[in-house]
Structure formats: C-alpha cells, structure tokens
Amino acid sequence: MNAPKLLHWYARRAGVPTARAEALWRKAVRQATDETGWVGTPEYWGATMDNFQRLLKAERSTLCAPLVTPLLRSQKRIFCAPIDAMSDVAVMTMRRWHHYMTQGQKAA
C-alpha cells in the first residue's frame, strides 16, 4: 500500500519523523481494512485518513518537544525594547530641534 504524497507534509506539521509517520500510515491502513472490510472504496480511504490523522494527533501529544518559538519571540522583543526606545527619543529630539530651528528663523 503506497503512502499518500502529502505524508511528509502531515508528518512535518505534526512534528513527527517521516519514518514514524509511515508506520502510523500502515497502522491506519490496517485499521481501515478491519473497519470497512473493503479495500479501495471511498469509505475505505476516508477511514484511512481519519485513522491516520487521529494517530498523528495522538503521537504528537506523546512527544516531549517544547515550543521554543514563543520564548524566542519574547526575548527578541525584550532585547529590542531599549533600542526602540532610544530610536524614539532620537526622532523626537530631532523633530524638536527642527521645530525650534525653523521657528527661530521665522521670528527673526
């Protein structure tokens, strides 16, 4: 039984290695064969995909992969905060001096 062409995409989306996703696909095929009793019908393929996605979801919940992305984003924001503040201060100072210099020339 050939695996679907999107198996790698499903595996990457679930955070599961491709080899493990292939094993889960074979298990889903066996379960669908037991459930439907027929091979190749639309009900069979629907049951196979349902079982495969359910198995992927269960496998993903067993993985101990911490989500690092939110932590890195918050660290980036914390790191960039002083730089952004100094940039804002510099822009406000420049605008104030520009306003002061242009108003001084008009009054004279």
* pLDDT tens-digit map of 8-32: 999 999 888 999 999 999 999 999 9
Give me the residue label for tokens 């009793």: 37
Same domain, 50 and 90: no
Tally of CB atoms within 10 A around 44? 17
Question: Are 52 and 10 spatial neighbours (Cβ–Cβ below 8 Å)?
Answer: yes
Same domain, 21 and 56: yes
The pTM for the full model equals: 0.58
Domain limits for position 90: 67-108
Instruction: Report if residue 30 sits inside a domain.
Output: yes
Instruction: Report if residue 2 sits inside a domain.
Output: no
Question: Are 51 and 75 spatial neighbours (Cβ–Cβ below 8 Å)?
Answer: no
Same domain, 57 and 89: no
Max distance between CA atoms of the chain, in angstroms, equals 96
- Four-CA torsion 5, 7, 13, 18, nearest 10 degrees: -130
Domain count for the chain, please give it: 2
Cα–Cα dist 101/94, whole Å: 10
- Give yes or no for residue 42 having a pLDDT over 70: yes
Instruction: Report if residue 16 sits inside a domain.
Output: yes
Same domain, 46 and 85: no
pLDDT digits (tens, 9 = 90+) for 47-85: 999 999 999 999 988 877 667 777 777 888 888 899 999
Instruction: Report if residue 1 sits inside a domain.
Output: no
C-alpha atoms less than 13 angstroms from C-alpha of 51 in its C-beta half-sphere? 21
Same domain, 53 and 89: no
Same domain, 53 and 78: no
